[in-house]
Structure 1
Amino acid sequence: MFIAFAVLSVLLALAFAGAGYPKLSGQDAMAAQLGKLGVPAGFMRVIGALEILGAAGLIAGLWIEPLGVAAATGLALLMAGAVVTHVKARDAAKGTVPSLVLCILSVATLVLGLAGL
């Protein structure tokens, strides 16, 4: 169980670090993309910071498992909000599916982490 938790945690940490950096650094392309979804420009950096912190929490959770469970919970909730935002903005499936996949993988990581506690 721990190996699956560890593999998913590392893969998700890489994905969320990669997704969070452009938002945290305030890249114009990311601001434009989020603006189309109705996300305020100032909120972009908050989302990026949460994604980076979640990624760090997943990695720390390899040693302190409850921290990894908490990080997976937060990231699952963040991605659930992202899916809702995409759907409300009537975004194409191409834009919605990545958030949905990350949400599902975060929930799977959460379940694996809870099973290991």
Structure 2
Amino acid sequence: MYVTAAILSVVLALVSLAAGVPKLLLKGDVPVKLQEHMGLSAGLVRLIGVAEVAAAGGLVVGLFWQPLGIAAAVGFALMMAGAVAFHARAGDYADPAARGNALAPVVLTVLSVAAAVTLGLAM
């Protein structure tokens, strides 16, 4: 079970880091789209970036201390559930052009829950 937890944690950490750094630095298209399309402030986008980078760190350290990994995975799942709610409120699931990007948080929520469960079972 630990191997599954490790794979899920590493994949989620890489995705979380790759998504969080541009938001933290307010660089690239994603932070601009979050501000324009979703109506988020620059400060909130940075806060989301900080949370995603922290989740990546927690998932990696959680490979050696499972309680932290479980907490990071649960926190990341809650953050992705919030992203799903924001996409739903913006109507992205009804828009074929935006649906692909909006489905990523759904998949990441499921993977985060799976990581938390497998880390818990690996203890």
The question of whether the paired residues in 2 share the 8 Å contact of 1:5 and 1:112 is answered with: yes
The question of whether the paired residues in 1 share the 8 Å contact of 2:22 and 2:31 is answered with: no
User: Equivalent residue for 2:80?
Assistant: 79
Percent of paired sites with the same residue: 44
Tell me by how many angstroms 1:42 deviates.
1.3
* TM-score scaled by length of structure 1: 0.95
CA RMSD in angstroms, aligned pairs only:
1.1
2:98 is equivalent to residue 97 of structure 1: no
Partner SS, residue 91 of structure 2: coil
Q: Take 1:38 and 1:82, find their aligned partners in 2: how far apart are those partners?
A: 13
For residues 1-117 of structure 1, the aligned pairs below 5 Å read 1-27=1-27, 29-35=29-35, 36-91=37-92, 92-117=98-123
Tell me by how many angstroms 1:30 deviates.
2.3
Q: Take 1:94 and 1:107, find their aligned partners in 2: how far apart are those partners?
A: 21
| Segments ≥4 residues shifted beyond 4 Å | none
Any unmatched runs of 5+ in structure 1? none
Could you give the per-residue CA deviations for residues 75-98 of structure 1, whole angstroms, max 9, x where no partner exists?
000000000000101113212111
The question of whether the paired residues in 2 share the 8 Å contact of 1:86 and 1:95 is answered with: no
Amino acid at match of 2:34: L
Any unmatched runs of 5+ in structure 2? 93-97
Tell me by how many angstroms 1:31 deviates.
2.5
Tell me by how many angstroms 1:29 deviates.
2.0
Amino acid at match of 1:102: L
Higher alpha-carbon deviation: 92-101 or 77-86: 92-101
* TM-score scaled by length of structure 2: 0.90
